[in-house]
Amino acid sequence: QVQLVESGGGLVQAGGSLRLSCAASGRTISSYTMGWFRQAPGKEREFVAAISWSAGSTYYTDSVKGRFAIARDNAKNTVDLQMNSLKPEDTAVYYCAADRRLRVAMTEYDYDYWGQGTQVTVSS
C-alpha cells in the first residue's frame, strides 16, 4: 500500500509560481509511474502531468505545456510539480497519483493510489 501526501498549494496571483510536492510512504515508488491531476469546482478531474518511473519521459496536458514541470526524486520518494505563469483557470484541487504499471497513463482510472489533494487558487 502506498500513501501519498501533497503539499505546497495556496493562493497566488496570476503570473506567479507554486511548487507542489508529493511525498510517498508505505513503499518505494521508484518503479511507479507518477501523475498529477486536478479538479476545478463543478468539473471532472483532469490529467495535468505524468512522469515515467525512470524520469525519462514526461507528459503534459496541452494547457500547461511550457508552464508546468514534473520531476521526481526516487531516493526521497517524492514527486514535484513546478507551476509557473499561473492563470486563474489553473485554480483547482491538485492530486498526486501513483500507477503500479510501467507504461505512462493519462486517465485517472489507470492510477492505483491517490493523495487527498491540495488547493491551488490563482487570483486575477
What confidence tens digit (pLDDT) does each residue in 94-106 have?
999 999 988 888 9
Burial-class residue 111 by CB neighbours within 10 Å (0-12, 13-18, 19+).
Answer: buried
For 15-66, write each residue's pLDDT tens digit.
Answer: 999 999 999 999 999 999 999 999 999 999 999 999 999 888 999 999 999 9
- One-letter amino acid at 110 equals D
- CA-nearest of 89, 88, 95, 85 to 6 is 95
In sequence order, which residues have a C-beta less than 8 Å from that of residue 86 and are 6 or more positions away?
12, 14, 15, 16, 17, 18, 67, 120, 122
**Cβ proximity of 111 and 97 under 8 Å:** yes
